[in-house]
Structure 1
Amino acid sequence: MNRSWYAYMGMGGDPTLCSSYVKITLKHNCICGENICAIYATGEDFRPVEPLSANMQQYIKKALATGRIQPEKPFGSKKFVYLR
C-alpha cells in the first residue's frame, strides 16, 4: 500500500477518523496552526486505510496539542501531520 497526502475535511469532526480525509494530488501549503490540514498516510483510492495507525493517531493528537507539525524530531525527518 502506498502513502499519499490526505486533506482534513471534517472541521469540527474527529481528526482521527479516516472518513474526515480525502486524497489530494496538489501540494498543500500548510505548516503549523490550530487545525489539522493534511496527513501523509497509507491509503487506497479516495481515503486513508481504516483505521489510522496508532502512530498516526498519536501524531495527530500531539500536533493539535502543540500546534506544530509532527513528528517534530528528529529534525529533517519525514513529517506526517501538518496544520493550518
Structure 2
Amino acid sequence: MFSELSSAIMEMHKERVPPILVLFTKSDLIEQEAGNFDRHVKRYLQLTTHQLRMSDINHAVMRCSCKVPRGDTLPKCDGIVESFEWLSGKILEAV
C-alpha cells in the first residue's frame, strides 16, 4: 500500500520539492470508507509544509483503521502506524 507513496516522495525529493506533511486530521477523511485508504493518503499529501506531525497522523490512522472490516487487506493499526513512522523518518531526513 505504501510503496507508491514512498516512490512519489522520492520523486519529489529528487525534484527538490519541499518536505511534505501527510495530513490525516481532516474529518472527511476519517468519515470515508476504509477501503479507499490509499487514495485518501494520496489526496492529503501536501507540498507546502516543512514538518510532519506524527501525533496527528498516529491519532487519525488509529481512528481510521478501527473502521476496517474483518478480512480486509489493510494491516492492523500497529502496522499502519509503524509504516508512517518509517515514512516520516524518510521525509525528515530529506529536510
TM range (shorter): 0.3 to 0.5
Find the structure with the greater CA-based Rg. 2
Task: State the TM-score, normalizing by the size of structure 1.
Answer: 0.36
| Greater strand content | 1
| Greater helix content | 2
Task: State the TM-score, normalizing by the size of structure 2.
Answer: 0.33
